[in-house]
Amino acid sequence: MSLNYNVNLCISLLYLPPKYEGMPTNRTFTMIKPEAVENGHAGAILDRIIKNGFRIVALKKTRLSAELAGAFYEVHKERPFYGELVDYMSSGPIFAAILEKDNAVADFRALIGATDPSEAAEGTIRKDFAESKAKNAVHGSDSNENSDIEGNFFFSKFERF
């Protein structure tokens, strides 16, 4: 990633769309997963999110322990891929974020594309940045209810702007 791109991303983050009182919005949660962070795609992914009209309400870079990854993905505990998922999600740093926009959950799911990047539409985040179905670059909440649960897992009310 070039220095110029990093400067442009920083400027983009400084000039996020303002939230006006009474403006109808809703929120979704995302994580930029370990392989996307390791491969240097986090800046480009965040830039694409912003350029698609999402406002970043909360953002942090962190690393999940196996225990925290297990708790986050507890809904999948009985699924055969659970152990592999926990190992993968605790393998390196991630970016967690709460995003805001009208129709946030559906619009973000459209932006990220199908779980399997080979089935994702051209121009989606997963088509452009994912390695495989298992290493698919980003997580996106699948409902408003799960968005709230997942956002609350990572962020206190004092960390949201």
Report the catalytic residues.
Answer: 139
Task: Describe the strand order of the beta sheet including 138-140 as a list of residue ranges.
Answer: 55-63, 93-101, 26-32, 138-140
By CB neighbour count within 10 A (0-12 exposed, 13-18 middle, 19+ buried), where does 118 fall? Answer: exposed
What's the CA gap between 83 and 70, in Å, rounded? 8
Residue 90 — φ and ψ, nearest 5°?
A: -100, 10
